[in-house]
């Protein structure tokens, strides 16, 4: 029998103003992941796709990401890949936006610093504009680099940071700081639901082999039989979080009620010399290292205070560096087409 649709067609004003995604009751969430072809993004996409409850759209310009990272989902009915640069507006109907698009390795973000700033400013502005228009919840992957070369240790979310505004890292550090500002202003001014994660150094399978970040460099160098390049003084510290823990934290933040900013990272703190020694012990026992020059404004120490993530999200990392390094090395070994160096 034909339904009388006149009330639906004439619909009340309030219903008519609802975004389409709220009117069409879909059992699935539609989720946009910008930068979804990158390292963290592709692991996040895996987690969001598994279980079949979501439709996932990846928007990526493939500057540092690759289709290989998301190849398993291409052709899946719940998955869509768009070649898109976030410095241009994007029109899609979604319920959630995970905004990761931005080169993360210092080598790549310094390669075209003006573009990095544009990605952080215009890219975040465009994605917040989209969130406002379609009433999507928006999560920004900010960084521990907003703390700069920190004068407080470990870093809590209350610390305002020590950042050089005109240095070679500023396109990234200051870019992420203004991205956070934009998120909070869209929240206060336009009521956009925002979530801000401050991610500390994350590592794992699928990192670009020649990405330039320390864990990928050391593992690739050790496996290739090259010396690991420890930048002076070698006593600078970082705290390394395995990617599956990070993805878990990001999803908890998105699904929870707190805007953040919330530190997500592993509080285990290592000097770069200790990291090189761990790679030697766990990946290639014959490996060695040499000291090389450092780059300007390298933060001397970094370690997250994750009390807030524990209390608010019930989250803390599970995978230790000792467990994570061999998992990453196995992936690198396969991609480099190498045999197991440890057994040689």
Ligand X SMILES: O=C(O)[C@H]1O[C@H](OP(=O)(O)OP(=O)(O)OC[C@H]2O[C@@H](n3ccc(=O)[nH]c3=O)[C@H](O)[C@@H]2O)[C@H](O)[C@@H](O)[C@@H]1O
Q: Which two tokens stand for residue 131?
A: 């969130």
- The DSSP line for 210-261 is T--SHHHHHHHHHHTTPPEEEETTS--EEE-EEHHHHHHHHHHHHHSS----
For the bound state, the minimum distance from the C-beta of residue 6 to ligand NAD, rounded and expressed in Å, comes to: 44
Nearest to 142 by CA among 42, 15, 260, 243: 260
Q: Is 186 a catalytic residue?
A: no
Binding flags for ligand NAD, 40-79, as an x/- string (CB under 6 A): xx------------------xxxxxx--------------
Residue 260 interacts with ligand NAD (CB under 6 A)? no
Q: Which is nearer to ligand X, 120 or 201 (CB)?
A: 201
Q: How many residues bind ligand NAD (CB under 6 A)?
A: 28
Residue 274 interacts with ligand X (CB under 6 A)? no
Considering only 236, 263, 266, 333, the residue that binds ligand X (CB under 6 A) is 236
Considering only 32, 127, 230, 247, the residue that binds ligand X (CB under 6 A) is 230
Q: Which is nearer to ligand NAD, 101 or 171 (CB)?
A: 101
* Cα distance from N-terminal residue to C-terminal residue, the chain: 75
Nearest to 329 by CA among 279, 294, 293, 291: 279
Binding flags for ligand X, 298-317, as an x/- string (CB under 6 A): x-------------------
Binding flags for ligand X, 314-343, as an x/- string (CB under 6 A): ------------------------------
Considering only 54, 144, 155, 170, the residue that binds ligand X (CB under 6 A) is 144
Of the candidates 98, 109, 147, 172, the residue annotated as catalytic is 172
Q: Which is nearer to ligand NAD, 39 or 289 (CB)?
A: 39
Contact yes or no for 21/93 (Cβ under 8 A):
yes
- Counting runs of H as helices and runs of E as strands, what totals does the chain give? 13, 13
Identify what 37 binds: ligand X, ligand NAD, none; CB under 5 to 8 Å per kind: ligand NAD
Q: Mutual orientation of helices 124-134 and 170-190 as an angle, nearest 10°? A: 20
Q: What residues numbered 202-221 form the site for ligand NAD, per CB under 6 A? A: 202
Considering only 30, 31, 32, 35, the residue that binds ligand NAD (CB under 6 A) is 35
Q: List CB contacts of 245: < 8 A, sequence separation 6 or more.
A: 266, 317, 318, 319
Calpha distance 208→189 (Å, rounded): 38
Residue 199 interacts with ligand NAD (CB under 6 A)? yes
**Ramachandran angles phi, psi of 294, nearest 5°:** -95, 180
Q: Which two tokens stand for residue 202?
A: 């994350």
Q: Tokens 């970082």 appear where?
A: 238
Q: What is the dihedral of CA 252, 268, 209, 276, to 10 degrees?
A: 180
Residue 87 interacts with ligand NAD (CB under 6 A)? yes
Nearest to 218 by CA among 300, 270, 284, 302: 284
Q: What residues numbered 93-122 form the site for ligand NAD, per CB under 6 A? A: 100-104, 119
Contacting range for ligand NAD; rule: CB under 6 A; set: 10-18, 70-78, 82-90, 125-133: 82-90
Q: How would you classify the pairing of strands 137-143 and 241-242?
A: unpaired
Identify what 186 binds: ligand X, ligand NAD, none; CB under 5 to 8 Å per kind: none
Task: Show the DSSP H helices in 263-306 as ranges.
Answer: 272-282
Which residues would be at the binding site for ligand NAD (CB under 6 A)? 34-35, 37-41, 60-65, 85-87, 100-104, 119, 123, 141, 143, 199, 201-202
Hey, which residues are catalytic here? Answer: 172
Which residues would be at the binding site for ligand X (CB under 6 A)? 104-106, 143-145, 172, 199-201, 213-214, 217, 229-231, 236, 238, 272, 294, 298
């Amino acid at each position: 029998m034909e339904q009388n649709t006149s009330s639906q067609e004439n619909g009340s004003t309030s219903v008519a103003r609802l975004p389409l995604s709220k009117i069409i009751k879909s059992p699935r969430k539609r989720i946009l992941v910008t930068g979804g072809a990158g390292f963290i993004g592709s692991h996040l996409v895996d987690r969001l796709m598994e279980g079949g409850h979501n439709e996932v759209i990846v928007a990526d310009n493939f500057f540092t990401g690759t289709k290989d990272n998301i190849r398993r989902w291409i052709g899946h009915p719940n998955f869509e890949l768009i070649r898109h640069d976030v410095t241009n507006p994007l029109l899609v109907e979604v319920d959630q936006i995970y905004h990761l698009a931005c080169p993360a390795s210092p080598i790549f973000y310094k390669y075209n610093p003006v573009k990095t700033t544009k990605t952080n400013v215009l890219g975040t502005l465009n994605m917040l504009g989209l969130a406002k228009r379609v009433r999507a919840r928006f999560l920004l992957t900010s960084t521990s680099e907003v703390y700069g070369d920190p004068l407080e240790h470990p870093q809590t979310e209350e610390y305002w940071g020590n950042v050089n505004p005109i240095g070679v890292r500023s396109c990234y550090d200051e870019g992420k700081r203004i991205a956070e500002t934009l998120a909070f202003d869209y929240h206060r001014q336009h009521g956009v639901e925002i979530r801000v994660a401050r991610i500390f150094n994350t590592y794992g399978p699928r990192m670009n082999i020649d990405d330039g970040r320390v864990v990928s460099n050391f593992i690739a160098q050790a496996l290739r039989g090259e010396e690991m390049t420890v930048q002076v003084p070698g006593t600078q510290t970082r705290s390394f979080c395995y990617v599956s823990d990070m993805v878990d934290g990001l999803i908890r933040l998105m699904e929870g009620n707190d805007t953040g900013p919330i530190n997500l990272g592993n509080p285990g703190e290592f000097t770069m010399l200790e990291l090189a020694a761990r790679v030697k012990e766990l990946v290639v026992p014959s490996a060695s290292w040499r000291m090389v020059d450092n780059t300007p404004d390298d933060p001397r120490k970094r370690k997250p205070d994750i009390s807030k993530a524990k209390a608010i999200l019930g989250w803390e990392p599970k995978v230790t560096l000792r467990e994570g390094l061999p998992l990453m090395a196995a992936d690198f070994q396969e991609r480099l087409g190498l045999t197991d160096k440890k057994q040689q």
